[in-house]
Amino acid sequence: MESPTHNVGRWLDRHAETAGGRRAIVDAERDLDYAALCDRSQRCAMLLRDAGIGRGDRVAILLGNRSAYIEAVFAAARLGAIAVPINARFTAPEIQRILEDCTPRLLITTV
């Protein structure tokens, strides 16, 4: 089985090295190049790790269309965790069913 150091979480590292100054993502809050996106996902991964997230843990992500969503997906991948995307337009009962089914260790969302 692959180690967490050889997965999609490292794709961003390679892009930061080869095209760090190129634009990676733009939203209403941020305009990030690959180097900045890589840095933010690494910092997010450290926060997840400090919260007890590790290989195989599920991390539910309930965020709208924003850079933080991408950062969280890459952060989970860096740790070998499983990102569980949840559509922010789902109703409360739909979200509840997903959370009950996947039993995430952590939910990332906004208030």
Instruction: Provide the CA 58 distance to its chain's centre, in angstroms.
Output: 11
In a domain, 2, yes or no: no
In a domain, 19, yes or no: yes
93-111 per-position pLDDT tens digit:
999 999 999 999 999 998 5
The whole domain housing 59 covers: 8-109
d(CA 90, CA 102): 16
In a domain, 89, yes or no: yes
* Residue among 70, 63, 61, 62 at smallest CA distance from 26: 70
Mean pLDDT of 22-28: 88
In a domain, 65, yes or no: yes
CA distances from 10 to 4, 25, 37, 77, 89 (A): 9, 17, 12, 8, 30
42-97 per-position pLDDT tens digit:
999 999 999 999 999 999 999 998 999 999 999 999 999 999 999 999 999 999 99
- The CATH number given to whatever domain includes residue 27 is 3.40.50.980
In a domain, 96, yes or no: yes
Whether residue 1 is predicted with pLDDT greater than 50 in this model: the reply is no
Report the number of distinct structural domains present in the chain. 1
* SS3 assignment, position 108: strand
